[in-house]
Amino acid sequence: MQIGTGHYLVLSTALLLIGTLGVLTRRNIVIILMSIELILNAVNLNLIAFSRHYGHVTGQIFAIFVITAAVAEAAVGLGILIALFRNKGTVLADEIDLLKW
Amino acid sequence: MSEYYTSADHFVLLPAIMLALFGCAILLFEFLIGAGAKQRRWLVVLGLAGLAFTGRALWMQQAALNAGAQLSAFKGALLVDGFSLLFNWIFLFTSAIVLLISYKYLEIENENHGEYYGLVLLAQCGMFFLACGNDLVTIFIGLELMALGFYIMVGFLRNERRSNEAAMKYLLLGAFSSGFLAFGFSLLYGLSGSTNLRDIAVAISQRGAGDPLTFLALATTSVGLFFKISAAPFHMWAPDAYEGAPTTVTAYLSVGSKAASFALLLRVFLGPFGDLRAMWQPLLIAVALLSLLVGNLAAISQTNVKRLLAYSGVSHAGYMMLGLVAGNQTGLQGVAVYILVYTFMNLGALLVIVAMRRENILGEDIDDLAGLMHHHPVYAIFMLVFLLSLAGIPPTAGFLGKYYIFLALIETGHYILAVVAALYVAVAVYYYFRIVRSMFSREEAPAGVGIPLAGSLGVRVALAVTGALTLIIGIYPEPFLRFAGESLMK
């Protein structure tokens, strides 16, 4: 069977859904951050599949930018998480409850 | 200057270069001059100097544009038109106000570090790319640059748990929405084979409506954008982030980030998705109505002014979206005017809250404002003007914004929407006037009435400017209307 662009699209959509589920249901903030990475990797997969489909490198360049942004986001996110952990002593999302309506 | 970087490219990019240069210079300068409080004042001056250079570059672009020049750079990846310049002026104004008010506030919070001023400029650099970007890669990087700056600034009070929590929630939801937006972008690239918004628009119109890939791209991109403008049901981050962030950052976030995200939303919905109006209009109506409902009803029960303004910001996003729903000339002009006046009045209202922060008083609760009229009448009257304007009562600027939105809705035959939107103004008046009633009440003075407000020179200047503009636009709107209208025409 030939693996085509359509297959990659199905895979990336599945990754997007898994990532979304992870963000919505997991308690541990580190795992939520990992789920967000999953979503961004779904984006990268899409970009590279389309890039191959069209036979040019634009999508690959875009993917490099997305990877860079994802790394920066993870760095800032873990930094904030460490500050939070120092003051509060937990990394569980449902125990972060000072702000509420 | 080479084939890849021509002088035309340089001219378009100049404001961003200035912002990045001065932003990095502040980071370096703080390191060089040490941690003394006296020297840190120079960082504010350096930041303002950077904004002055940026303003000069923008002014030259405006002049070139008025002379009829076509300004685009990097093979159409950046586009300077009236639309992007209008937004860039708004960003410049907002950053200048934020720089003016931050110094004293951060001193009181005991977190006055130089990075803050650098981040303000770098976040504005991101906003520049959001307003000018005409290419998916440029837009995505601009968005991330802005968002990363804001994540750090929201959590800037690193020893305060509220600030930590706000930053964490904002980062998780912000990154999540960026992921969705990026997914939408990747599909847009996939269905057109190009990252340029114009090529994408052509490709989408060729594919026609009902194409599943186009629908998926529209859906994911919209979710990402609605998150960024804090429209219901994607607004959950806004109240937490606004409340926990330092008030100066709340001001920047609620105005700068919202305006930049709206610039992106307008560009995407009127550009690539322009032909799919039949598809996104019902969606936009639903989200706008839900934003009005959630924003207004949730604001009623708030006791914290910053949180109240966050929910009212959700409803303001709803009004702005209604202008896009109408979609005619009046409606788009209405959106531009609305964003312009929202900048002045929302900044102003938060400025008063910044001044309330003194010694060990947070000054964010409605009760903290009790009796303000009797011990600090000038601040109370300014606050009254901003609240009247936010509620949309003439002769203040806010009335004008709402007027154009309603007019556009009536012109395009959305009578029911216009009536519903107008009815929510009555709800808004109720909760804004809870603050006013507290300010004018004579009973139970809150603790710490005797401590003077933290009105530094910067806060007073900023208050005077925003207050004057809120009133002037309300009373004599012609020049501003012409400016906003012409901006969109070009």
**What are the structural domain ranges in chain B?**
283-490
Confidence bin at B35 (pLDDT 50/70/90): low
Interhelix angle B397-411/B377-391, rounded to 10 degrees, is 0
Q: Which residues contact B419 (CB under 8 A, 6 or more apart)?
A: none
Number of residues written out for chain A: 101
In sequence order, the 6+-apart residues with CB closer than 8 A to the CB of B239 are A99, A101, B298, B307, B310, B311
Number of structural domains chain A divides into: 1
Statement: residue B366 has pLDDT above 90: no
What ipTM does this complex have? Answer: 0.95
Q: Tell me, what's the pLDDT at B484?
A: 79
Query: Are the Cβ atoms of A76 and B148 closer than 8 angstroms?
Result: yes
Q: How many residues in chain B?
A: 490
The string of pLDDT tens digits covering residues B69-101 is 888 888 889 999 888 999 999 999 999 999 999
Q: Cα–Cα distance between B190 and B54 in angstroms, integer?
A: 36
Q: For residue A57, what are the domain limits?
A: 5-89
Beta bridge partners of B79: B72
The CA distance from B284 to the nearest CA of chain A, in Å, is 23
* Confidence at B391, pLDDT banded by 50, 70, 90: very high
Q: Is B155 close to A58, i.e. CB distance below 8 A?
A: no
DSSP states along B427-454: HHHHHHHHHHHHHH--S-PPTTTTSPP-
At residue B441, the pLDDT reads 84
**pLDDT top residue among A5 and B92:** B92
Alpha helix stretches (DSSP H) within B67-135: 82-109, 115-132
Q: What is the CATH number of the domain that holds A58?
A: 1.10.287.3510
| Residue B443 pLDDT exceeds 80 | no
Instruction: State the residue for tokens 């598809």.
Output: B279
Query: Does residue B285 contact residue B230 with C-beta atoms inside 8 Å?
Result: no
Percent of chain B with pLDDT over 90: 65
CA-nearest residue of chain A to B191?
A50
Gap from A1 CA to chain B (nearest CA, Å): 23
Contact flag A99-B176 (C-beta cutoff 8 Å):
no
A48-52, B107-111, B151-155, B339-343, range with the lowest pLDDT: B107-111
Q: 3-state class of A92 per DSSP?
A: strand
CA–CA distances in Å: residue B153 to residues A88, B245, B454: 19, 8, 21
Contact B164 A73 (CB under 8 A): no
Each residue of B125-174: pLDDT tens digit? 999 999 999 999 999 999 999 999 999 999 999 888 899 999 999 999 99
Which of A9-18, A57-66, B161-170, B204-213 has the weakest average pLDDT?
B204-213
- Does A100 reside within a domain? no
Q: Among A20-29, B20-29, B305-314, B361-370, whose mean pLDDT is lowest?
A: B361-370
pLDDT reading at B490 higher than 60: no
A37 located within any domain: yes
Residue A101 above 50 pLDDT?
A: no
B306 touches chain A (CB under 8 A): no
| Stretch among B150-154, B303-307, B447-451 having the lowest mean pLDDT | B447-451
Q: State the DSSP H helix or E strand holding residue B75, giving kind and residue range, or none if neither.
A: none
Average pLDDT of the segment spanning B472-490? 80
User: A64-79, pLDDT tens digit by residue?
Assistant: 999 999 999 999 999 9
**% of chain B with per-residue pLDDT over 70:** 96
The pLDDT of residue B451 is 67
Note whether residue A45 is domain-resident.
yes
Among A52-61, B13-22, B321-330, B363-372, which stretch is predicted with the lowest mean pLDDT? B363-372
Domain assignment of residue A53, yes or no = yes
For B164, the closest of A33, A36, A80 (CB atoms) is: A80
> Position of tokens 């350096």?
B46
Question: What's the mean per-residue pLDDT of chain B?
Answer: 90
Residues 6+ apart with CB under 8 A from A84: A91, A96, B161, B164, B165, B167, B168
Q: Which of A18, A46, A99, A100 to mutate to test binding with chain B, by most B CBs within 10 Å of its CB?
A: A99
Q: Angle B18-B23-B24 (CA atoms, 0-180°, nearest 5)?
A: 105
CB contact under 8 A, B193 and A56: yes
